[in-house]
Amino acid sequence: AGSQIQSTAGTPRRSSRRKSVAIAYEAGQDDGPEPQRPRWEPQHWREQLERIREMRRSRDAPVDEMGVQKCYDSNAPPQVMRYQVLLSLMLSSQTKDQVTSAAMLRLRRRGLSVDTVLHMDEETLGHLIYPVGFWRNKVKYIKQTTAILKQKYGGDIPSTVEELVQLPGVGPKMAHLAMGIAWNSVSGIAVDTHVHRISNRLQWVKKETKYPEETRVALEEWLPRELWREINWLLVGFGQQTCLPVHPRCSQCLNQDICPAAKRL
């Protein structure tokens, strides 16, 4: 599924258009190649982004203090560190950062690595990760994924999005975050519920999107690549503190005057 997403996002369907342009040019009906259309981009997005940066300057949202980038042992060997990054991402789905951080701390106290998890029974693993969201399913996914990593990757994690999303319990958002945190490689924009919600509220998508993957594709079409790594961190914290899912704090938002969804008081 991940490879299909990647290829769809990265390869626009324009073969038929190219063919028609070539025929017209060869027949002398055109003086040159078709001019490029201006790239679409949202109104006010640069100003909105700068204001969000200002609101996030204190770096005191839950994602800053207990997010995935804070959950792994930075002194562990690189292979172990990457495994811990992936596990924290798997635990974080449908779970508050505080709960994920606490579960990772309990696991790390047991010497969190591929081998320790492989030798751990499911009941013990469940006790350690509870109460993360859907913890019973995650116990199964973690055991299955860890076995695959041991057998297929020598205990390391894959270094491509295509391979990461093939692992049980690993979705596109997790894969892109794993690439950025574990491999220091920007492969795409990591879109969670916060990024998805705020992108639609700010109309950073050309038309409304229903799912995070649609939002990722829509954002990557116009947002400069040098901002891809930053945008997840910015919008997640902004969504945790100001642009809340219910009752957003519009009166406290610096973008109130230029946000299409703002409730102006």
Summarize pLDDT for 65-113 with one digit per residue, the tens: 999 999 999 999 999 999 999 999 999 999 999 999 999 999 999 999 9
Contact 243, 198 (CB under 8 A): yes
Which residue among 173, 207, 210, 263 is the active-site one?
A: 173
Rounded to whole angstroms, the Cα distance separating 235 from 239 reads 6
Q: What pLDDT, in 10s, does the model give residues 214-249?
A: 999 999 999 999 999 999 999 999 999 999 999 999
9 has a pLDDT exceeding 60: no
2 has a pLDDT exceeding 50: no
30 versus 141: the higher-pLDDT residue is: 141
28 has a pLDDT exceeding 60: no
| Cis peptide bond N-terminal to 131, omega within 30 | yes
Domains and CATH numbers, the chain: 41-59+188-264 (1.10.1670.10), 71-185 (1.10.340.30)
Burial (CB count within 10 angstroms: exposed 0-12, middle 13-18, buried 19+), residue 33? exposed
Q: Which residues contact 210 (CB under 8 A, 6 or more apart)?
A: none
Give percent of the chain above pLDDT 70: 85
- In total, the chain counts a number of residues equal to 265
3-state helix, strand, coil in the chain (%, to 5): 60, 0, 40
pLDDT of residue 61: 97
181 versus 10: the higher-pLDDT residue is: 181
Identify the CA nearest to 126 among candidates 151, 107, 154.
107
In the annotation, is 206 catalytic? no
3-state secondary structure of 131: coil
| CA angle, 258 then 260 then 263, to 5° | 90
3-state secondary structure of 143: helix
Q: What pLDDT, in 10s, does the model give residues 144-201?
A: 999 999 999 999 999 999 999 999 999 999 999 999 999 999 999 999 999 999 999 9
54 versus 36: the higher-pLDDT residue is: 54
Rounded to whole angstroms, the Cα distance separating 229 from 1 reads 23
Provide the greatest CA pair distance for the chain: 74
Rounded to whole angstroms, the Cα distance separating 152 from 171 reads 19
Based on DSSP, count helices (H) and strands (E) in the chain, helices before strands: 14, 0
3-state secondary structure of 228: helix
